[in-house]
Structure 1
Amino acid sequence: MFSAHPFVYCTSLQFYSSLIVTSLEMPSYKLYYFAARGVGETSRLLFAAAEKEYEDFRIVPPQWPALKPKMPFGQLPVLEVDGEQIPQSRAVENYLAREFGLYGSNKQEKATIDVVCEVARELKMHLSLMFHAKEDPKERQRLAAELKDKIAPTIMTNLTKYLNKNTGGHGWFVGNSISYADIVVYAHVEKIIDNIGEDAFKDYPALKANFKRVASNKGIANWLENRPVTPLVPCLNEIVAELVVQYPNIIMAEYTLVYFNGRGRAETARILFEVAGVKYVDKRIPRENWPAMKAEAPLGKLPYLEAKGMKLPQSSAINRFLANEFRMFGKDKIEKATIDALTECLRDLEGPITKYFYEKDESKKVEIKKELCDEKIPLILKAMEKQLCKNNEGNGWFVGESISLADIDFFCFIDWLVFVNPDVLTDFPKLKGLNDRIKTHEKIAKWVAKRPETEF
């Protein structure tokens, strides 16, 4: 069985293929696609379900111009079987499904599989529109809302109807075992979940159960645990082909930030990446997957950062590392010490605020809130505003003449404080002005407009 390479991207086809030993007793399979899930992921899932070995060539943009003329139609994905090339994602999937006995046991089942697959693929065009709108936050938000309120419910309702026709929706789409239909639905519903979250399942328990059955298939479970962390996009391979030709020197991500699907203790790091304009993989772990992954995390905690061959835990350490990397940690020792002092001031509030959030006794919660609003928060904010006023009379940044870790950490922490007191900055006009400057910073405003909607 193919085991995923631990790095995000393979920069050499020869190196990547050397990681896999292909059985001499079976056909030789080579799958060529970009370093993303996209329309190549269903084929990978088919290989996983069948537990068949193959070479998973992941093409990065600098390689594509030289490889493109060698591919039928100049597109990906392409499956190579004993030297013969099969282009087009659907043709590749159909071939593999037939080859691995996953395309139904009779004509009726095959027809049902085709219908189910076509219903799931109705998502493809909408996701491509969202991809095109990535530089237009308002249009992307509109499309995301349409996906959540109209497109996804329509698709999932129709899929549920077909699922219910077989064993009352308690098994697979056809027959008594996993098929091509289940795998295609899983791949496309996974894209829905990536875009609008687990709430997409709330009215479709049978579909959710089917999704989990697919994910627990032995081969697929192994694949999901070990597959390289890559972006969901491209949605259409021809779009990426066009992009990589336009941007042949694009730099691939060297960093992976691992955290839950929320802002929390990872948001400062994410905004540091955005302000610096540095590519990274924003790996968001579903809560239900965390127990199985905990042992792999340094100190058994999130967030952690994968960079330069290391796994760096602890949010404060991550933030300092990135701020140093991206020159947002002051220009001299005094500025660095000031930034440290300011971020540690904020940490002093972390414990009491966390206690407030998790307190279940309402009377105690009221007491904690009163102490926070009347004493602890004003004390810290007063000290921070005093420090702010030492630089450019409080009309610029905490230190120097450009945004730093101190400003970004403050901005993220205000997210926490407004949950306790929406008017937290009313008595601190200079801090309010700073918060407004950060909020309207071009790169931060763009990130805030496009970042996933999360509970925390």
Structure 2
Amino acid sequence: MPSYKLHYFPIRARGELIRLLFAAAGKTFTDQHITFADWPSKKPEMPTGQLPVLEIDGEKLSQSLTIARYLSREFGLAGDNSLDQARADQVTDTISDLLGEFFKYAFEKDAAKKEEIKTKLFDSVLPTFATNVTKFLDMNKTKSGYFVGKKLTVADLAVYEGFEDFLLVDPKSLDKHPKLVAHRKLVLTNPKVKAYLDKRPKTDVIGLSQGHLNSCTIRLNSPVDRHPAQRLTAIHSHKMPSYKLIYFTVRGRGELIRLAFAASGQSYDEEKVTFETWPALKPKMPTKQLPVLEVDGKQLTQSLAIARYLGREFGLAGEGNMDQFLVDQVIDTGADALTAYVKWYFEKEETKKAELKKELVDTTIPKFAEILTNYLENSGGKNGFFVGSKLSLADLACHETFTDFLQLNPDCLKDYPKLAANRQKVEENANVKQYLSSRPESVI
């Protein structure tokens, strides 16, 4: 039985889904709280200079959703097969987006601006997300009340926690969404989750009470059996599924998906959406966002959930659960890098755009290059790959990240020879090389 230690601030926020997974599984872990006063001295000890970090038998792993997905697979809370994992992922990633919107409100210090953000959050953002999440609930053909299959998964815990903050601000905020209210009650029928929530301090938004600021060990009884990684691999039918990617005519959030198809030599159709045709198509998409992948007509959403699903299907996700984690943390780091790049790309005010470019070139790109080099050196990869001894989604994600960055600074990899060599390894893959040679040049 591995030993687990969670390093995080004494708040719920990005660490609470991880705690809920331990609770639901009945697993023991040490919750090492780091105060904001202590964080500057602890920051250099963390792999990416960020929290949360999960320490497993002394090895530190980062990226909150990557940790959550790893634990859900270990504890049998990820779904029963690869497609179920994708269904759970799309819900969890949607809730992560929702939390990002909420944190803008929670951490705003200017009172007038805070009230303005709150109005938009509760009048527009919350109803949109609640409607989209309800659609995911309706898509479960078992009609069990859970998001995936007939039992509790990480998706249910993510949704429960995702709306908790809104209900603390306004207890009536879900009154117009009765299926989500019923779902919250269903989650509470799980005795382990209920026991944890009953003991969890009643707090203000995202925080924990002062009585929980110190390091503590949480012990939970009745551990569940670990599900072996092979139980969570894809369940294939004799008939090869048909795939259709629906996305805009840019690389953006869809390119890692295209690269996964290219690297594996898998055929797929692509419906390219122009910005002129998007308004008419938008209502037909599960979350009114792109990309969407249709698998035998079933629509999957959330770009990284789709990429991870294809990675598992096509043998690009690593050989076991830990490998999947190591691949995931690179993918999620690449997604963070893309967010910074997109912020610069879509800025319209010229002075601000120039400032953002300078920040990217001088600070952001070197920061991500150092993080990714650290992953490359410490993930146990061989032959210049991030994970294992062959190409994975991690390598493709890193390649795509620097396709953007190299357009801003062609010399950005000069001081990072291991990343440059990894990029070359990706381009030596015959399938990838052929795809890249025919791909149109694009800024994003």
TM normalised by structure 2 equals: 0.45
Name the structure, 1 or 2, with higher relative contact order (CA <8 Å, separation 6+).
Answer: 2
Higher helix fraction: Structure 1 or Structure 2? 1
TM normalised by structure 1 equals: 0.44
